[in-house]
Structure 1
Amino acid sequence: MNYPEIRYLERLADLYPTIAAASTEVINMEAILNLPKGTEHFLTDIHGEDEAFAHVLKNGSGSVRRKVNEVFGNTLSQQDKRTLATLIYYPREKMDQILKVTEDKDEWYRITLYRLIEICKRAASKYTRSKVRKAMPPDFAYILEELITEKDDSVDKASYYNAIVNTIIHVGRGRECIIAMSQLIQRLVIDHLHIVGDIFDRGPGPHKIMDKLMSYHSVDIQWGNHDVLWMGAAAGQPGCIANVIRICARYGNLDILEDGYGINLLPLATFALNTYKDDPCTCFKLKGSNELNQYEVEVNLKMHKAISIIQFKAEGQLIKAHPEYHMEQRNLLHRIDYEHGTITLDIPDENGNLVPRTYDLLDTNFPTIDPKDPYAYTPIEADIMDRLSKAFLNCEKLQQHVKFLLAKGNLYKIYNGNLLYHGCIPLNEDGSFKEIEINGSYFHGRALYDILESYIRKAFMGVSEREKTLGRDIMWYIWLNPDSPLFGKDKMATFERYFLAEKETHTEKKNPYYRYLENETVVNHILAEFGLPEKGSHIINGHVPVRSKNGESPVKCGGKILVIDGGFSKAYQKETGIAGYTLTYNSYGLILSALEPFESTEAAIEREIDIHSDSVIVRHADRRKLVGDTDTGAVLREKIADLEQLLMAYHSGLLVERYIKN
């Protein structure tokens, strides 16, 4: 045994100083390898829908309801099972509703406690006692451990456990115990959560979602283009900041910035009201549902237009500063004929050749644009952007959220034989990997993801200011560049959708990747690029909503690709016909669940409306998956091998056990 190995074993001996300690840990880990694997939960494209997100976490995409059915089968009515499931989701609120109309409250507590004990037992059955104990609310940890780990059905023990339940009720702790058990069930039905991108934008509560994720027991995040946009804004990147504010304005959600993050938008509002005082700003109408009054709508429209013009200027400056982004065709302000109110664009003809065409603009009021220098800020715009940059950089809550995204997130993840990414793998027309230029070098496939992620991290942790600047600008590139794997379209037609009526100008052509989702050769090539075998591996993908109402399936290429964006965002539900997909991967296989639209938390409690509908088994395991079959199992085996080396060193006399004083 060489010196480095001995040094390593000496450090390991600090943790396991005796043969007994090392042996016990080996026995423990060998036992864990033979437990069923924990349930993984996959969500994507949440887009700020915090209430629906919270509900899906509570019900585990139907996992709680499945546990209720497994335990009670036909012994409870469907109504009783729905009520019990709703109680587990919302214990405080549901108890308040039930107890208002319940005469014998003690008996209700007793029955409910026993039912929850049985569900807790089922949910805890595939975990070690240690793991279950750590998941328990501290105030009830001892009591719950006694109740849910008991296997002895003797009369004496039955009396003992009846006494515990009766005493809980007698001392007035029934309510708190029910809450504790409900939280434990929610915690145990999902062992690990994967968020496959796009937490931010469109919906009203991305900051609330981030708060919830930061307190979640086990989570990883694959950044989506909207997440990277907000990260860029948090780093002070002007193009990202303008886009973030514009999207909030477009969906009537400026209060996310003002109330959720405390970012002062008053300078922008004042500027917008003065500049567009008599402008109806009809091209900048709001999308989605909102509860703004008429005055708020008018202010929102003017702010929407003001920040959109600032965005086009900021992006024009970026494009000029980075010719390597190859985005010159997206600079449009200098193509406007300000005298005649028209713009000339290069539009593909029937043969795909670009030909110039002139269009009338729907809005010709541009008081802040100098036709001779259209991408220059006015002094007031420059001051507003400077203030906004400082506000984003100094927003403590946003910076905490971004630190969490950096700690728990990546652009892609390989986990238990699945490849997770939000967008696409940029491909050429023939299905081969496209070579993409990033700051003078070329990358494709996995290497492209790796280099882009490295630049994102440099924006926050780079040594030099040049590295940080490149990283900040790359985040804007990732947001909307045609070669970005998180965008995957030939353009983001923001200007055209605001100012032009002709639909041909709005078209955003998808990367060839989306045409090859059913091509097994291409899909296998992608899996191999990321080091995964063709058989048994899956790509789990978000970003592009699956239009279920048109018969489109989220299951592609015989189940090798699962596109699980089904319209979590309310803004997309008319297009998809559902309210999103979730995926669970338990010891029996992969289960894809379609979601019904979420009405409200109040409706879920009052009328016991769940949002889980149909489930489809995508893949059923040939045998039940164990921890030993997972990535965690591989890590445990490495630890076991190391501990066995330590035991050999003890037994051979190479290392000496330490004396432990009793």
Structure 2
Amino acid sequence: MRQLEERYLERLSQLYPTIAKASTEIINLQAILNLPKGTEHFLTDIHGEYEAFAHVLKNGSGSVRRKIDDVFGNTLSSRDKQTLATLIYYPKEKMDRIKKTEKNMEDWYKITLYRLIEICKRTASKYTRSKVRKALPADFAYVIEELITEKKDMTDKESYYNAIVSTIIRIGRAEKFIIAMSELIQRLTVDHLHIVGDIYDRGPGPHIIMDKLMDYHSVDIQWGNHDVLWMGAAAGQRGCIANVIRICARYGNLDILEEGYGINLLPLATFAMNTYRDDPCECFKLKGSPNYSTSEMLLDVKMHKAISVIQFKVEGQIIKKNPGFKLDKRNLLHHIDYEKGTIELDGKEYKMLDSNFPTIDPKKPYALTKEEEDIMERLERAFENCEKLQSHMHFLLNKGGLYKVYNGNLLYHGCVPLKEDGNLKSVRIFGHTYKGKGLYEVLESYVRKGFYAMDSKEKERGKDIMWYIWLSENSPLFGKDKMATFERYFLAEKETHKEKKNPYYLLLEDEKVICHILKEFGLENKDAHIINGHVPVKCKDGEKPIKCGGKVLVIDGGFSRAYQKETGIAGYTLIYNSYGLILAAHEPFESTEAAIEKESDIHSDSTVVKRTLERKKVEDTDVGRHLKEQIADLEVLLAAYRSGVIAERL
């Protein structure tokens, strides 16, 4: 043990080779511990709504507006504050409009620059100068640092600052400087971003959201069931591929695949038009109101039906291959009477809304035709070889996981599978039993194996597990007894559409159950919270996002336009800053154009979930814990230098 410690100290001494350097680092880290805790921003269930997402990212769920209020108080009118906030969100676009009406732009530049400098000072005040310096835009780094750094000993400071601002305007750099300052304020307002699942499906721009996240300064992602579905598709899992295409077709978003990721859907389109030429495909009408021509609409519904039938066949094959998944009851094609156009479910016969299945052989209902097999082979190759898709999925693997414990909060997308009595439900995965935290961890390990395993059997299991996570009743990311996709398409009877939720969702107000879940994940502090997405909060029905006396925060309120009729709002987001937890409700986002022109924001209401008596510092966070460990190690190194155990590297 002593030899191990000495080897570690030798390695540490390479980084801090002298008493002076080790001492300086201790002083630096100790100072950081006393800075205010950075602001965390939580978003979930974005579902491809990239414009609304981009706006919430820019406004920090109201954090930017709060900074403006802090700095200017009653010295600016509400209108001026909103104009300033809109400028910070969309600096270039807002200035283009201002130039059309403002007669004296030089004065406007001067006033605006001074206001932005003051806000920038406030946002930078909780960080070390080194961290702020790293965030500065390269073109203006020196000038901005001069403007936002107090110089107490400069008697002529005011004229010094005035000279800088005046010169910026005189040489025609004011607009570029305002854009740089606005982006810096956005960057410094939020220290870390948490995405609690479901970036993909329903909305038109998940690929755009992923590009933004890959450029974001600090982010982690808890995978949602829709994200894992896309990960499975990228890994070449056929059930996931078919589901991804079906959902894109259903919401009129096939261009995400074709234009966003360059996946060729022409073979599927040709097959669909030939196979279902005279079929109106009434059961496969699109959700929402995509901007389609009549011919585009006809093609989409036929592709929608074609890929759905392929999906049911492919899923039947996966279920047969994996009897341990216990999903036999979801194999329904062999229960259809193809002559009568009926299906028998749970001993009851139902008339089907559509009985035209030209590609299904009643004797072998789960077998793909030669054309269908060719289509799936092409799609597998397209998904596996799409460079942009693989880049996005590997980013999810690098930055994400099925759950995260961070600063006393437990983050996950769906649920912890429970039994009726509230105890953890045991689930068998490939012959072994897991529950609670162990279930999350084994499923995550198999997701990673689906991409990285050298053993072909384990890799194949990993791929199939991604499909299992998508729709199994024992999946923490799904949490219902079935996914009634088939029934919703083909049966009118609502009783067949019902998907029963896991008891978890009925027990969210049970403090004993919630405390047991927190303890399972290593959180026994009375201040711990579960931050949860996945199930929209139906505000219009009086449902509240704060549950179990504040121990559970469900922050999916309907980012997706498809859910907003159910929820009555456009989502919840959460801010955790040095003063406490703030839950923000959002109004539906009209458009980026409206946000700029009308200066409309989508943040409508804030609820303080918890306010701390003393402002939290870095030392109260997980980062602070790591810094304290580093300080302790450096103090051991310092003692080793002074005792002569290790020599300084002068």
Q: Residue 469 of structure 1 is aligned with which of 454, 460, 463?
A: 460
Aligned counterparts of 1:190 and 1:358: Cα–Cα separation in 2: 56
- 1:40-439 equivalent positions in 2, closer than 5 A: 40-152=40-152, 155-346=155-346, 356-439=347-430
Residue 73 of structure 1: CA displacement? 1.2
Matched, 1:460 2:451: yes
TM superposition outliers: structure 1 runs of 4+ over 2 Å: 151-155
Counterpart amino acid of residue 220 in structure 1: D
Between the two proteins, what is the percent identity of the paired residues? 73
Deviation, structure 1 residue 102: 1.2
Q: Distance in 1 between matches of 2:371 and 2:647?
A: 74
Residue 26 of structure 2: aligned partner: 26
Gaps of 5+ in 2: none
The alpha-carbon deviation at position 655 of structure 1 amounts to 1.5
Q: 1:488 is matched with which residue?
A: 479
Question: In 2, Cα distance between the equivalents of 1:292 and 1:110?
Answer: 47
CA drift of 1:657 comes to 1.6
TM-superposed deviation, 1:288? 2.0
Give, in whole Å, the separation in 1 of the partners of 2:154 and 2:135.
Answer: 28
Query: Aligned with 1:618: secondary structure?
Result: strand
Letter in 1 for 2:586: L
In the alignment, structure 1 residue 617 sits paired with structure 2 residue 608:
yes
Deviations 1:149-174 (CA, angstroms, capped at 9, x unpaired): 12539651111111000011111110
The amino acid across from 1:189 in the alignment is T
CA distance in 2, matches of 1:396, 1:342: 44
**1:341 to partner: Cα distance:** 0.5
The secondary structure found in structure 1 opposite 2:21 is: helix
CA-to-aligned-CA distance 1:447-505 (integer Å, 9 cap, x gap) = 00000000000011102110110000000000000111100000000000000000000
Tell me by how many angstroms 1:106 deviates: 1.0
- Secondary structure of the 2:156 match is helix
User: Could you say what secondary structure the match of 1:74 adopts?
Assistant: coil
Instruction: Answer whether contact 2:151 2:157 (CA < 8 A) is retained.
Output: no
- 1:158-203 deviation per Cα after TM superposition (whole angstroms, max 9, x unaligned): 1111100001111111001100100000001100000000000000
Matched, 1:591 2:588: no
* Residue from 542, 546, 555 that aligns with 1:564: 555
3-state SS of paired residue (1:474): helix
Match of 2:523 in 1: 532
Q: In structure 1, what residue type is equivalent to 2:467?
A: W
In structure 1, C-alpha distance between the alignment counterparts of 2:17 and 2:155, rounded to whole Å:
43
- Structure 1 length normalisation: TM-score? 0.98
Give how far 1:532 is off.
Answer: 0.3
Query: Residue 622 of structure 1: CA displacement?
Result: 2.1
Q: RMSD of the TM alignment (CA)?
A: 0.8
Query: Deviations for 1:210-269, whole angstroms, at most 9, x for unmatched residues?
Result: 000001000000000000000000000000000000000000000000000000000000
Partner deviation per Cα, 1:303-323 (whole Å, 9 max, x = no partner): 000000000000000111111
Report the Cα distance in structure 2 between the residues aligned to 1:289 and 1:124, rounded to whole angstroms: 44
- Say whether residues 1:649 and 2:640 are aligned partners: yes
Shift of 1:628: 0.1
**Matched residue SS, 2:583:** strand
Structure 1 distance, partners of 2:507, 2:151, is 53
Aligned residue-pair number: 650
Aligned to 2:438: 447
Residues 295-348 of structure 1 show CA distances to partners (whole Å, capped at 9, x for unaligned) of 1111000000000000000000011111111111110000000010000101xx
TM alignment of 1:531-550, pairs within 5 A: 531-550=522-541
Matched letter for residue 506 of structure 1: H
User: 1:396 corresponds to which letter in structure 2?
Assistant: E
CA displacement 1:113-146 (0-9 Å, x = unmatched) = 0000000011111111111111111111110111
Counterpart Cα distance in 1 of 2:308 and 2:153: 69
Q: CA deviation at 1:7?
A: 1.1
Q: CA deviation at 1:289?
A: 3.1
Q: 1:561-596: CA deviations, max 9, x gaps?
A: 000000000000000000000000000000000001
The question of whether the paired residues in 1 share the 8 Å contact of 2:408 and 2:525 is answered with no
Distance in 2 (CA, whole Å) between partners of 1:534 and 1:85 is: 37
Q: Is the 8 A contact 1:524 1:534 kept in 2?
A: no
1:414-436 Cα deviation digits (max 9, x unpaired)? 00000000000101111111100
Contact 2:37 2:617 in 1 (8 A): yes
